[in-house]
Amino acid sequence: MLFPDYRPRRLRQSDALRRMVRETVLNVNDFVLPLFAVSGKNVKIPIPSMPGQFQLSIENLIETAQSAFSLGIPAVILFGIPDKKDALGTPAYQKDGIVQKAVKEIKKHLPDLVVITDVCLCQYTDHGHCGIVEKDVIDNDATLDLLARTALSHVQAGADMVAPSDMMDGRVAEIRNVLDENGFSPVPIMAYSAKYCSAYYGPFREAADSAPKFGDRRTYQMDPPNAVEAIREAVMDVEEGADIIMVKPALAYLDIIYRIREEIDLPVAAYNVSGEYAMVKAAQQMGWLDGQRVMLETLTAIKRAGADLILTYFATDAAKALQA
């Protein structure tokens, strides 16, 4: 097809025409809203590096979840900030832990909202790493049991889905086995399969108080230059029983989302992470760009790359913009 016989601009002449031939359509059903749970009453602590996001006590968490659900957002993912931490991340798998309490209360008030829980130890360990530490080394195999115990405690509290984000080898299989053995075989696992050791996580670590106290996470999170390895990670998680495969971060890893979408015949999720959110919000506050347009363009790009689900702090703002 060559000019002048083919004129692509013919189908761009009006908003109605553009909508009729649009290849990628962003929908509120694509979104999962991350929330940060803390103990206490009437707690709503602003997260400075993430304008519009808060650490929330349970009653405020429920209110925020209700607002999201009323906009059509189908799911939230919960992160917990405990009052105390220890070397083994004990608060992560206690029956009365902050996430376990939050799950019970949210499901009581919003039974139709899909409640996903992040399964990791970093928010609960006093050293800030995602696994058990032995002589400054993260012990992969010793961590698996604790991750499985955490996932089981979340599901026993009523979680609809668990999402292991630790990047320990073999954790999906361990969690799947423990859930199945305890009668929770219908509960799906959304695996953080290609989670990169990224500088984009900075604001989240402030929000979740989860920065490592020594070293970094390069020995377990993926090396950013690697792409083929992401496919191997995803395939391994599928073989271990994952139901949804996630790529994190999203915007700087659109090629990874695309490649996994081409290789894996399961739903693909992408996490539009805190740093991606914070940069847009900061530039918007400075008047350097149109924040809403950049938000929608970013989320559309993530979906266009192949994501079926998008975990994003923009979820409520995007839902409102799509309804306007």
Q: How far apart are alpha carbons 14 and 18 in whole angstroms? A: 6
Sign of CA dihedral 176, 268, 167, 280: negative
CA 176 to chain centre: 19
Relative to beta strand 268-272, strand 309-312 is: parallel
| Residues 269/247, Cβ–Cβ less than 8 Å | yes
Six token digits for residue 324:
């306007």
Identified catalytic residue from 195, 213, 281, 303: 195
Q: How far apart are alpha carbons 241 and 235 in whole angstroms? A: 10
| Residues 125/86, Cβ–Cβ less than 8 Å | yes
| Residues 125/88, Cβ–Cβ less than 8 Å | yes
Identified catalytic residue from 248, 281, 303, 320: 248
Active site residue 107: no
Q: How far apart are alpha carbons 17 and 63 in whole angstroms? A: 39
Active site residue 108: no
Q: Which residues are catalytic?
A: 195, 248
